[in-house]
Structure 1
Amino acid sequence: MIKLPLETIIQKIREKTGMTQEEVRDKIKQKMEQLAGLISEEGAGHILANENGIKLFEEESGRLKIVHLLPGMRNVEIAGRIQDIFEVRTFQKEERTGKVGSFMIGDETGLIRVVLWGDQTEKLQGLEKGAVVKIQFAYIKDNQGRKEVHLRDNSNMVVNPPDEVVGEVKKRVFTRKGIYELSEEKDVELLGNIMQIFDLKFFEVCPHCNKRARPEQQGFICQIHGIVEPVFSYVTNLVLDDGTGTIRTVFFANQLQQLIQKKHQEIIGLKDNSTPFEELKKTLLGRIIKINGNVTKNKMFDRLEFLVQRVDVHPNAAEELNRTRTQRITKMDEHGQQIVQEIPVIEEVENVDEEHV
């Protein structure tokens, strides 16, 4: 089933009807109440669109731009320019070993990761950034809220086809902010010092989709693939301080590899021997890093957290100083006294890379 995000449904209804966002949300809420809570917001949005004669899906297969790709689509054809290439990983599945690799492509409308499994990973050999690829008969999957292109056995991938032209890749824009001004938002860049690092946590995931696999009586269960032989992934948290405040940041597998400059298998080796990671902590404390990602609300602890997508462990000091202008603000402290504080001025930066957690 093709999954369309609620915000996209709302936007399409607004474009066709002229209703405001608040009006659309109210009608979706009314529809949910009419159906006694037996339908999701997305489902209510689909019904509202149908009642207004709005076609939410223009195309479900064939040649599409990245912006129009949706989870659940099959037999898709796309073309894009390679932005980044990631290492091939191996995993154990029952008595055999599997492989998975990926790379990032972009077109005039956006960026997306392309995922290859098993023998398909051999297609990564010889790929170079900047090359154009055309992919046919692929399908689109959701990975923790992000779209991915997956190749199956009958999928085709052609590098630098003579008849294919890809325009300028749409760059993703991150906004540089101070921690003090953060709210739940996407595409934010922070620059700060590492002031605390927590222990590594390892957990079981499905070898097929990388989603959490949870232990049950019959074995480890993936919500998508059922009983699986899990592999391990990992996560750590650190506290970042930028002079305007502090925030807890979350580093999953890819981002942790960038942070500590180690490969997947090296980090897996720390599961049974944490001593090397304790030494790494000492070298990281006080280091200035630059991170890109999204600000989310941890409802359990009622706090904002920063979900990291990209890490720069060696930001250019002179360049960052030139970018980081400041302004003075006056506010009241807890005793009612005025205090003056310098804060960074918001600046937008372009970044074409994007990583999944």
Structure 2
Amino acid sequence: MKDISVNGINFHNLEKTWIVAEIGVNHEGDFDTAAKLIKLAAKCGVNAVKFQTFRIEHYISKVQSERYERTKKYQLSYEQFRELAVIASESGVILFSTPFHFDDVDFLDEFVPLFKVSSGDLTYLSLIRYIASKNKPMIISTGLGTKKEIQAVLNTILDLRPDAGIKGELILLHCVTAYPTPVDKANLKRIVWLRETFDLPVGYSDHTLGIKACELAVASGAKVLEKHFTYRKENQAFHDHAISADSEDMSQLVKMVRQAEAYMGCKKTLHGNSDEKMRSHMRRSIGAAVNVPAGKPVQIEWLTYLRPSWGLSPDQIDKVVGKRLIRGVQAGDLIRLEDIED
């Protein structure tokens, strides 16, 4: 069973990419659909599912009446979110959400282990400060954000929690907010730029079609991977479904990411276990090119270098040349430390 713990998470030290199925509002306000999506995502092998939590009066202005009425239909009640959190726990995945108001933060704080900040709210610093006050890990999406704006967000958080970055409680997500994002606009090099500029772990929120960008993001060092998720992409009125991964896509994404991680190995070691097993087979030892007699100073021209590495390694040649052997060594044999006089 996969590790789904997040309390005390350190984004610096994640051994595997944390894969998030972004359900968002793809449930379109229907509780049963939301529950179904959680269960489907869990079967795909993701680590977490993410929602959006809002009250329409604190989110969309009635100036955009059509948008207001459409988005209002996508609300879930607080009580429904509580029930969904239980379903997620029973399904073996973490549920968290993006809050859009202070009341949403207080409500979610009762049961979510971390928060997400929307790209659209990078300048809503009072809300970000309030989220930070809950002392939980924060995922910050940086779509639309300038360097100055991202730094202002981090300053706001770090003023309240100076050690949050050091403790690995913050992660930035590279995000392009175009739906869908064209291939030539994905700009995955920004993952490296964000990491180097702000000295924080970085992830990727993907809005491209397909899953190729996710694979490349992992290769670029993304620690968290977020992909919109739906039960069906085709013949849906709400546009988010078309850019989302369905169950088949998400299962393939998880498999691909885990395979990519296996290819990449671990930066803490210079070689893997398979290389370790080959060391003695592939490396050389100091050997006798001719019959080397005992009791005489060994001449370098008497020596050669042979596989396997069962004897002295070539970089120990000074321990052999000019020294006397206790026993004679036949041509083609390896010279060992115990063959040499003290």
Normalization by structure 2: what TM-score? Answer: 0.23
Give the structure with the larger helix fraction.
2
Q: Computing the radius of gyration over CA atoms, which structure comes out larger, 1 or 2? A: 2
Q: Which one has a larger percent strand, Structure 1 or Structure 2? A: 1
